[in-house]
Amino acid sequence: MGRWHLETGRYEPGAWLRGRLFPRRSDLSPDGRFLCYFAQKSKATWEQGETYVALSKLPWLKALHAFGTCGTWTRGYYFTEENRGDTHLNLKLPLSYGLSSFPVVQFAQERHRGWTETPDSPPRHPDDFWDEHRHAQLSKQQPGGHRVLYLESLGRAGAEFGVDQAVDGMSVLYFMKSQQGIELLDDLQWADWDLRGQLLVATRTGKLQIRNLDGNGPEVIFEVDLSEMEPNPSPAPCWAQDW
């Protein structure tokens, strides 16, 4: 786990987990301080069980609050305004946010961040309860620019790592449309715009980058190679162990 400081161009490493995190079923609080994450940790011995949702302070995973789930079909949760979350959670925490479960739809996390389904995206079949069997396509306009970023699902990959490198088990394809035409971004595992219209990416080789698209071509103005990091677990600092 880490914190990516977009304004200062710095990556801050944090916790290590011998388990599995589900990024598309997790969320960052609007102030950037708290993480609501969905995790699976085999043979976990605490009362929440092997699959659970927890709240922590970035970039650490120390659970300040947690609850167990019924398994990996759980959709995960996102932050809402105070008193606007799911009432059944009965949260009474020192936070100015509530929590709501993500809807059962492809790329629910991206939709929460402003992505919209394209008009030519294939419709969802009424019997496809978990919305798994179509190649949905979403798009997002570049802030202050003319480019449009597209994201398309290619189906279940069945693996998180290796050749497919599928976030939450789903293979995806990114491409971008601009005045110059269509550009395939098949080197990317994840992408989105920042508020200044720069492209934030995670490459398939394990790099986080900020790409400035102004000028004659893309310019990488920030990069950190996460593939070079070695596991180095350590306890969360004191400030991350309580609210």
Give the pLDDT score at 162: 52
Cβ neighbours for 60, distance < 8 A, ≥ 6 positions apart: 1, 14, 15, 236, 237, 240
For the beta carbon of residue 38, count every other beta carbon within 10 angstroms.
24
Mean pLDDT of 7-30: 93
Q: Give the percent of the chain with pLDDT over 90.
A: 75
CA 65/CA 47 separation, integer angstroms: 12
Phi, psi dihedral angles at 111 (to 5 degrees):
-60, -35
Per residue in 22-68, pLDDT tens? 999 999 999 999 999 999 998 888 999 999 999 999 999 999 999 99
Give the pLDDT score at 73: 86
pTM (2 d.p.): 0.91
Give the pLDDT score at 165: 63
Mean pLDDT of 203-216: 91
Per residue in 119-176, pLDDT tens? 999 999 999 999 989 999 999 999 999 999 999 999 876 655 555 567 887 889 999 9
If pLDDT is split at 50, 70 and 90, which confidence band does 84 have?
A: confident
Higher pLDDT, 87 or 70: 70
If pLDDT is split at 50, 70 and 90, which confidence band does 108 have?
A: very high
Of 191, 196, 220, residue with least CA distance to 143:
196
* Residue 200 reports pLDDT greater than 60: yes
* Residue 112 reports pLDDT greater than 60: yes
Half-sphere exposure of 106 (CA within 13 A, CB side): 27
CA 205/CA 55 separation, integer angstroms: 29
If pLDDT is split at 50, 70 and 90, which confidence band does 91 have?
A: confident
Mean pLDDT of 217-239: 93
Please report, for the chain, the start and end positions of each structural domain, with discontinuous segments joined by +. Answer: 1-102, 104-204
CA 163/CA 95 separation, integer angstroms: 40
Question: How does the average pLDDT of the chain come out, rounded?
Answer: 91
Helix (H) or strand (E) holding 109: helix 108-112
Give the pLDDT score at 43: 87
Mean pLDDT of 212-224: 89
Mean pLDDT of 201-208: 93
